[in-house]
Amino acid sequence: MSKKNQKPYMNPYLGGVLLGLVLVIAFWVSGRGLGSSGAVKSAVVAGVETIAPSHAENAAFYKQYKETHPQPLKSWLVFEMLGVVVGGFLSGALAGRLKFKVEKSPKITNKTRIVFAVIGGILFGFGSQLGRGCTSGSALTGMAVLSVGGFVSMAAIFGTAFMLAYFARKLWI
């Protein structure tokens, strides 16, 4: 698809207002904000319970999780994230942005980009569990409800990324 067919992105301030309204609707309907990493946790727990049921019954984390979530996949965040796949696809389709592609700085190879994407994913996945939520669940939603934890998460995530940006610059610029 040529660049000419791609529509420009939305004005970011308008985008922020719309994202904030989605967040407000989530609060009003479900009494909770948006999230992402929790859906992966549900999928991992469900996977372990299926593949290694005896391990899931004995290991501390799964045992504790089972007490509060008898059916891990029947969770709010799992359904919300399925919606994200559909919503992202619809927006991409309407704007002419559907395309298989590896996005990166012209200075690095596709292989380098993929390796760092996996490493970044591992760190983000691990950190999101340690920090009880990621950018959407802990930082964005936490800030909207004015929770101290939300501001701490936001400062720690963005502060660290800023401090490390110099060392990772070849990946992006």
Number of residues in contact with other proteins under rule CB under 8 A: 126
How many angstroms separate the CA atoms of 47 and 121, rounded?
19
One of 28, 51, 68, 70 touching other proteins (CB under 8 A): 28
- Structural contact between residues 96 and 1, judged by C-beta atoms closer than 8 angstroms: yes
Angle ∠(79,142,167) on CA atoms, nearest 5? 95
Q: Give the contact letters, 29-68, x = binds to other proteins (CB under 8 A), - = no.
A: xxxxxxxxx--xx-xxx--x----------xxxx------
Least separation in angstroms between CB 57 and other proteins: 14
Q: How many CB atoms within 10 Å of residue 139?
A: 22
How far apart are CB 95 and other proteins at their closest, in Å? 7
Cα-trace Rg, the chain = 19
Q: Looking only at residues 131 through 170 of this chain, which bind other proteins when binding is defined by CB under 8 A?
A: 131-165, 168-169
CA 79 to chain centre: 14
Q: Restricting to residues 70-109, which ones interact with other proteins according to CB under 8 A?
A: 74, 76-77, 79-92, 95, 97-106
